[in-house]
Structure 1
Amino acid sequence: MRWLSFVVVLALLVVGGHATSASATPMQSGPPPTVTGENGVVYPTDPEGRALLLRGWEYSDDSCGSTSFSGAAEKFRQMAALGYNAVRVPFNWECMEPTFGEYDEAYLSAFARVFRAAEDAHLMVTPDLNDHFPTWVLDRAGRQPGTSSVEFGSTAIGSADLGPSVLGKHGDLEFLAAWGLVYDNPEVRGRVLDLWAMFAGRFHDEPSLFGYDLFNEPLFDPLAQGASVIDPLAAEADELTPLYQDLTDRIRAVDTTHWVLVEPFWAGVGSLAQPTRLGEIRDPQRKIAYAPHIYDLSMESGGDYEPASGFVQRYWDAVVRYPKQHGLPLLIWEWGTRDPKSPNAGRYVDEVTAGIDAHAAGSMAFVWCTGLSGWCNLGDDGLPGAAMASTVSAYPQRIAGVPIALSTSGVGTRLSYRPGGDQPTLVIVPKAAYPGGYEVDLAGATYTVTPKGTFDVVGISADPGSATVEVTVRPK
């Protein structure tokens, strides 16, 4: 049954069609929240108006209660030591609201330590609502009271071990039925809206907060309302889009500053390289970012990447359509290798990171844990290992001007941009990536180096009258 339901989901997700754009987004007064590069990439801006690039990892803790996220400070220090500037942290709905209408204050207080630790480590945090449904949602979805299944996605009943099926909870019809309630059941939908309004109201003043990732890998109910089949692409436009709009409106009632991140349906874009059918999300602050994931199906199922499949190139061809149509930053907010030691993992990492450089303003690798297998991508030394070792490289964190082109390959980082403003461009150079030292070549600018212990910050100032700045950081 698990595979049958998943086949239905995947088959439906391959159907064609395009969503229509909604009315124009109201303009915002003051400095623009984004800058568009000559490469077509839309970047968020920092308070000085520089193009902001985000590089980071996901840190996960599925435990509930007051001890959750207790490892955040140590993990964030490790990330920061390599020059990363961002972290994605899921929180679980079942931990947050184990009883209908009652939030767990111990869990909320535990999540506050995420912001404290991130602030200390100078990381920007994206909290993310994970689809670990509370038991009261699963009961409404048809589960018999008192029973449990690892497929439901509930931490309390063992979602960390989903068994041999790569589909896990995504192949369970009652889990999908719970997603249907998120869209169609007034009580469940209302609780999702209230949860995000509460969360944003509580944490919107946190200095380390970047934005809100509204749902981790949202899904739909293929048998909603008794239908024998439902078009997921229509559901993405007709159900997910208005829910995102309602959530954005609720968040904006308490927070007009931070970004709102939206993801497409699970598998459609990230695993099948299909264009999303999301419609426009209107935001008077113009701070909506598109945050899809990318996972090769062969690697997800435990195999190796097959370069001949052309998956990564098809993914980039499909994924850029939505952010280009709506003028949004593209953030690849989850990607990684299931086994970075597999023969073709290095090829996969190179293809993905080249696409991130060319098309995206940020990326989050999955996941920050030791083992070099089972999605853990750190070696025993606590550094990204095997194929993922190449992700530790110099990168421009803030670009003062209009970006033209960027490449952060293992042989060297190259950046070109048209300078603007009075602030320097900042390039982060982690020393772990250059054990023999590095050198900086410039055209049209001068630079200074500020040591930060385990990494250097290279500050680049354009020469007077320089129309273009060219920067190269490479091993000596």
Structure 2
Amino acid sequence: MLRVPAALSVLAALVGGLLTTAPATAQPAGPVAGARAGVERPAAPPRLHATHGPQAAIVDARGARVLLRGVNVNGLGEYYQANPELPSTVPLTSDDFQDIAALGFNSVRLIVSWSRLEPTRGAYDTAYVAKIKQALRWARLAGLYVVLDMHQDAWGLAVETPQDVTCPPNTSPNNGWDGAPAWATITDGQSTCRPFGTRELAPAVLHAWQHFYDDTDGIQTELVRTWGRLARDVATNPTVAGYDLLNEPGIGLDQANATTDLGAFYRRAIAAIRAGERKGGGFSHVAFFEPNVRWSNQGTSPVPPVEFTQDQNIAFAPHIYAEAFAGIPIATGFKNAATVAKSYGVTVWGGEWGFWPEHPADDADKVRRYAAAEDRWGYGGAWWDWKQACGDPHMIPAPGGQPAAVSPSLVRYTCPDQVAQPVDPAFGDVLGRTVPRAVPGRTTTLTSNSRTGAFELAGRFTPGSQRCALQVWAPARFARHKPRVTGITHLRRSSAPGGVVLSGCVADSFRLRMG
């Protein structure tokens, strides 16, 4: 339905022209790689891990820092079907991963559902795991990393308000959502109606979360075991960047749920994951941990204590929805994330961010400023989201309702007919700006202008890294821009999905500019 990479047909003609006449101030370029027509199949990505300390980062097996810039993909998630005539997800195909790569992304945050992994208690669904593995193969063929996200919204599917129930004043019917299976949903018979339209504050949702934190009837233990099984099944896979332990954890009835109780679950989940990786004969993948759901709405919230785990292969993964949900400036959202990450000695990866106006051009300035903040702080992140079906509960206000006219995912759909529209350049061009894919050192300057193509990367080499691990992706629309380099040798260019990749070897200090 979508073939994003316009201008790919001109890449072969440009491959030989970019580096043939370097400016007088630039160092001589090395030979051109990938000079055949078409786009080369990306190699399997090197495995990743997170470093710890003042210069914490996500790095690959060559010691190069990697920015995971990507998009959320929910095609494998199990969502409540608010309208029986409208499916709640768009089927996931191999083309999705190719199209995502062609936009310049190098990763996806792949939503997986506990309700599908363990549909009945103790019954680990290997058929669903096979679908996850298939998605990982598609991602590898597209050159994409995958963060496996144990996703939930407002606890799970079984918290919907029956259509024959009349909600009290100042409350409204609640959809079921996604995440926990019905067998793990303990609500104490509380109301499912949401006060002031806030799904997370429905009494049934609060009680379900409290029982999770209390491990009532061992329900938390079951999710911990499920994480261990899934980690074992993908233990050797370098396409898996890591695991997002739990999406936007709820708050329950006790203030400790946002701090010590959440930290206790994370500690248990990480321990199970590491045991699963060992059983699977694999390696340690990054564990991404989130603050509770209030962070998304407020831009900050209490977090687990620093000592919640001794594992150092971790990264802080808040959802920086500044100027979207959270009424704070974008700059403040990034500063809040950086402050918390510093206290843990870890880096930041924004697991969700985005804007959803009626017309993307209306929020073009916000997207550009967010992108500039990502570059300034050197953080990765994942746009919410790739394809949102017309029957997604986010689209339908209450059980049995009708969707809005347009589903505002990155690939927008008209509803209810669910016809896909091209990615709007107001968003797509910014998301697909020139970006460093791997940097063998500390980045001191990173700016990338999505309108002019002006790009600057400067840094200092980190001992222990491979000097020739530098990689920068540039979109096809800027393919004619010639690089100007200092402290970079053996500069090569190869075609890649949606654009070109510049690679080279760095000196102790280095700089690359384009546009």
Relative to the length of structure 1, the TM-score reads 0.76
Deviation by residue 1:18-44 (Cα, 9 ceiling, x = unmatched): xxxxxxxxxxxxx984287xxx66321
Change beyond 3 A, Cα 1:457–1:165: farther
Change beyond 3 A, Cα 1:117–1:75: same
Q: d(CA) in 2 for partners of 1:414 and 1:280?
A: 35
Change beyond 3 A, Cα 1:456–1:154: closer
Change beyond 3 A, Cα 1:167–1:205: farther
* Equivalent residues of 1:33, 1:45 under 8 A apart: yes
Is it true that 1:118 corresponds to 2:139 in the alignment? yes
Paired residue for 1:187?
Answer: 218
One-letter amino acid matched to 2:342: K
* Equivalent residues of 2:232, 2:276 under 8 A apart: yes
Q: Match for 2:305 among 276, 279, 285?
A: 279
Secondary structure in 1 matching 2:447: strand
Paired residue for 1:34?
Answer: 51
Deviation by residue 1:320-360 (Cα, 9 ceiling, x = unmatched): 11111121110011101112725651221122112211224
Structure 1, unaligned runs of 5 or more: 1-30, 225-229
Q: d(CA) in 2 for partners of 1:165 and 1:62?
A: 30
Q: Match for 1:417 among 459, 480, 486?
A: 459
Matches within 5 A, 1:59-78: 59-61=73-75, 70-78=91-99
Q: d(CA) in 1 for partners of 2:320 and 2:106?
A: 21
One-letter amino acid matched to 1:419: F
Is it true that 1:349 corresponds to 2:372 in the alignment? no
Q: d(CA) in 1 for partners of 2:55 and 2:301?
A: 18
Is it true that 1:241 corresponds to 2:290 in the alignment? no
Report the CA distance between 1:123 and its aligned residue. 0.9
Report the CA distance between 1:138 and its aligned residue. 5.9
What percentage of aligned pairs have identical amino acids?
A: 20
Change beyond 3 A, Cα 1:83–1:134: closer
Is it true that 1:261 corresponds to 2:288 in the alignment? yes
Paired residue for 1:429?
Answer: 474
Q: d(CA) in 2 for partners of 1:186 and 1:373?
A: 42
* Deviates further, 97-106 or 85-94: 97-106
Change beyond 3 A, Cα 1:180–1:384: farther
* Equivalent residues of 1:271, 1:294 under 8 A apart: no
Paired residue for 2:410?
Answer: 377
Q: d(CA) in 1 for partners of 2:195 and 2:406?
A: 17
Change beyond 3 A, Cα 1:167–1:214: farther
Paired residue for 2:204?
Answer: 174
Paired residue for 2:486?
Answer: 443
Q: Match for 1:290 among 310, 316, 326?
A: 316
* Equivalent residues of 2:388, 2:408 under 8 A apart: no
Q: d(CA) in 1 for partners of 2:130 and 2:372?
A: 39
Q: Match for 1:336 among 338, 354, 362?
A: 354
Change beyond 3 A, Cα 1:405–1:186: farther
Change beyond 3 A, Cα 1:188–1:138: farther
Paired residue for 1:457?
Answer: 501
Q: d(CA) in 2 for partners of 1:210 and 1:260?
A: 9
Which structure is higher in RCO with an 8 Å CA cutoff and minimum separation 6? 2
Report the CA distance between 1:62 and its aligned residue. 5.4
Q: How many residues align?
A: 408
Secondary structure in 1 matching 2:60: coil
Is it true that 1:54 corresponds to 2:39 in the alignment? no
Paired residue for 1:11?
Answer: none
Q: Match for 2:235 among 197, 200, 204?
A: 204
Deviation by residue 1:96-126 (Cα, 9 ceiling, x = unmatched): 2221222233222222211111111111111
Report the CA distance between 1:63 and its aligned residue. 5.7
Paired residue for 2:6?
Answer: none
Q: d(CA) in 2 for partners of 1:112 and 1:106?
A: 10
One-letter amino acid matched to 2:274: R
Is it true that 1:318 corresponds to 2:336 in the alignment? yes
Q: Match for 1:84 among 83, 101, 105?
A: 105
Q: d(CA) in 2 for partners of 1:333 and 1:397?
A: 18
One-letter amino acid matched to 2:293: W
One-letter amino acid matched to 1:182: F
Q: d(CA) in 2 for partners of 1:451 and 1:165?
A: 53
Change beyond 3 A, Cα 1:281–1:393: farther
Q: d(CA) in 1 for partners of 2:378 and 2:304?
A: 18
One-letter amino acid matched to 1:55: R
Paired residue for 1:359?
Answer: 377
* Equivalent residues of 2:156, 2:177 under 8 A apart: no
Change beyond 3 A, Cα 1:377–1:168: farther
Report which of the two structures shows the higher radius of gyration computed on alpha carbons.
2
Q: d(CA) in 2 for partners of 1:468 and 1:260?
A: 31
Change beyond 3 A, Cα 1:152–1:179: farther
Q: Match for 2:126 among 105, 129, 152?
A: 105
One-letter amino acid matched to 1:274: T
* Equivalent residues of 2:361, 2:426 under 8 A apart: no
Q: d(CA) in 2 for partners of 1:61 and 1:164?
A: 27
* Equivalent residues of 2:468, 2:503 under 8 A apart: no
Change beyond 3 A, Cα 1:240–1:56: same
One-letter amino acid matched to 1:270: S
Report the CA distance between 1:427 and its aligned residue. 0.2
One-letter amino acid matched to 1:96: L
Is it true that 1:396 corresponds to 2:436 in the alignment? yes
Change beyond 3 A, Cα 1:70–1:153: closer
Change beyond 3 A, Cα 1:278–1:63: closer
* Equivalent residues of 2:299, 2:328 under 8 A apart: no
